[in-house]
Amino acid sequence: MNLGQLIGELRMAADVPSGGLAPQPVHVDGRRNRNSNRRAEILAFAKERGEISAGDLVQIFGMQMGNATMFLSNLARTGELKRLGRGRYEVSR
């Protein structure tokens, strides 16, 4: 069997059209779900506590400082958190 035949058989086994596959977004399994779970946990923590900082996320959730800072910044940008001052956030009402 030559390479062309092998590719044809693999496509048939995988039910892939002969033109190939269109590029698909690549996601690590569960990444989107994990991020939404983390977002919900952080928002619940912020609501319970009243105010949070990146240092809190490092201690409580085990995040890296840069990731925690970016995560809080993104939540503030989407309106889920309100920035109180440098590095301090609360849940938007």
Domains in the chain: boundaries:
55-93
State the pLDDT at residue 28.
53
Q: Helices 54-61 & 65-77, crossing angle to 10 degrees? A: 120
**Sign of the four-CA dihedral 53, 59, 60, 63:** positive
Q: How many residues does the chain have?
A: 93
- Other C-beta atoms closer than 10 Å to the C-beta of 83 total 15
- Other C-beta atoms closer than 10 Å to the C-beta of 41 total 13
Indicate whether 40 pLDDT > 60.
yes
State the pLDDT at residue 59.
92
State the pLDDT at residue 13.
65
pLDDT in tens, 64-82: 999 999 999 999 999 999 9
What is the pairing mode between strands 88-91 and 81-85?
antiparallel
